[in-house]
Structure 1
Amino acid sequence: MTATSKNRAIVLAITEGTLTVTEASIRFNVSRRWIYTLLNRHRTDGLDALTPRSRRPHTNPNATDPTTIDTILELRETLTRTGLDAGAESIWDRLPPPRPSPTTIWRILNRHGIITAQPQKRPRSSWHRFQADQPNETWQSDFTHWPLTDGTDTEIISWLDDHSRCLLHTSAHHRVTGRIVIDTFTDTMDTHGPPASTLTDNGMVYTTRFANGHDGTPAQPNGFEQLLADLGITQKNGAANHPTTQGKIERYHQTLKRWLTADGLVGTLPELDEQLARFRHIYNTERPHRAIGRRTPETAYTATEKAFPVLEAGDRTWRVRYDRIGPTGTITVRYAGRLRHLGIGRAWAKRRVILLAHGPHTMIIDRNAGEIIAEHTIDPTKNYQKKT
Structure 2
Amino acid sequence: MESLMPWDARDTMSLRTEFVLFASQDGANIRSLCRHFGISPATGYKWLRRWGEEGASGLQDRPRIPHHSPNRSSDDITALLRMAHGRHQRWGARKIKRWLEDQGHHMPAFSTVHNLMARHGLLPGTLPGIPATGRFEHDAPNRLWQMDFKGHFSFGGGRCHPLTLLDDHSRFSLCLAHCTDERRETVQQQLVSVFERYGLPDRMTMDNGSPWGDTTGTWTALELWLMRHGIRVGRSRPYHPQTQGKLERFHRSLKTEVLQGKWFANEGELQRAFDHWRTVYNLERPHEALDMAVPGSRYKPSARQYSGNTPPPEYDEGVMVRKVDISGKLSVKGVSLSAGKAFRGERVGLKEMQEDGRYEVWWYSTKVGVIDLKKKSITMGKGC
TM-score w.r.t. length of structure 1 = 0.54
Asked if 2 retains the 8 angstrom alpha-carbon contact of 1:72 and 1:91, the reply is no
Does 1:158 find its partner at 2:160?
A: no
Contact 2:142–2:169 (Cα < 8 Å) also in 1: yes
Residues 86-118 of structure 1, C-alpha deviation per residue, up to 9 Å, x if partnerless? 333333421454311223322333455655775
Residues of 2 paired with 1:122 and 1:323: CA distance? 38
- Separation in 2 of the partners of 1:298 and 1:120? 26
Contact 2:81 2:96 in 1 (8 A): no
Residue 97 of structure 2 is aligned to residue 99 of structure 1: no
| Structure 2 unmatched runs, 5+ | 1-69, 314-343, 348-384
Whether 2:134 is the aligned partner of 1:128: answer yes
Aligned to 1:300: 298
**Percent identical residues:** 24
| Other structure's SS at 2:234 match | strand
Matches within 5 A, 1:1-388: 65-71=73-79, 73-75=81-83, 77-81=85-89, 84-95=90-101, 96-112=104-120, 115=123, 126-150=132-156, 152-208=158-214, 210-211=215-216, 219=218, 221-240=219-238, 242=240, 245-261=243-259, 264-302=262-300, 306=302, 321-324=305-308, 352-353=309-310
Q: Which amino acid aligns with 1:144?
A: K
Please say if residues 289 and 295 of structure 1, whose CA atoms lie closer than 8 Å, have aligned partners that are also in contact. Answer: yes
Query: In the TM superposition, what is the alpha-carbon distance from 1:261 to its structure 2 partner?
Result: 3.6
Letter in 2 for 1:353: T
**In the TM superposition, what whole-angstrom CA distance separates every residue of 1:324-349 from its partner, at most 9, and x where no partner exists?**
4xxxxxxxxxxxxxxxxxxxxxxxxx
Does the 8 Å CA contact 2:183/2:211 hold for their aligned counterparts?
Answer: yes
Gaps of 5+ in 1: 1-61, 212-217, 309-320, 325-351, 357-367, 372-388
Instruction: Give the distance between the partners of 1:288 and 1:355, measured in 2 at CA.
Output: 44
Larger relative contact order (CA 8 Å, sep ≥ 6)? 2
Change beyond 3 A, Cα 1:133–1:369: farther
| Inter-partner Cα distance in structure 1 for 2:268 and 2:74 | 45
2:311 and 2:285 mapped to 1: Cα distance?
35
Query: Highest Rg: 1 or 2?
Result: 1
CA RMSD of aligned residues (A): 3.6
- Does the Cα contact within 8 Å between 2:91 and 2:124 map onto a contact in 1? no
SS class of match (1:353): coil
Residue deviations 1:143-186 (CA, integer Å, cap 9, x gap): 12354444833111011111111111221122211222222223
1:101 partner letter: A
Which string of whole-angstrom CA distances, capped at 9 and with x for unpartnered residues, describes residues 218-271 of structure 1? 64x111211233233222211146577311111112222233247942222233
What is the TM-score of this pair, normalised by structure 2? 0.54
Which amino acid letter does the alignment assign opposite residue 244 of structure 2? Answer: Q
Give distance in 2, aligned partners of 1:120 and 1:297.
22
SS class of match (2:108): coil
The superposition leaves residues 291-338 of structure 1 with CA deviations (integer Å, 9 ceiling, x where unpaired) of 223332222213xx8475xxxxxxxxxxxx4324xxxxxxxxxxxxxx
Q: Which amino acid aligns with 2:224?
A: Q
Aligned length: 246
Task: Give, in angstroms, the shift of residue 285 of structure 1.
Answer: 1.9
Question: SS state of the match for residue 97, structure 2?
Answer: helix
1:231–1:354 contact (8 Å) kept in structure 2 = no
SS for the counterpart of 2:310 is strand
Q: How far did residue 283 of structure 1 move?
A: 2.0
Q: Following TM superposition, by how much is the alpha carbon of 1:121 offset from its aligned partner in structure 2, in angstroms?
A: 5.9
Q: Note if contact 1:195-1:233 (Cα within 8 Å) is conserved in structure 2.
A: yes
Residues in 1 aligned to 2:154 and 2:136: alpha-carbon distance in whole angstroms? 35
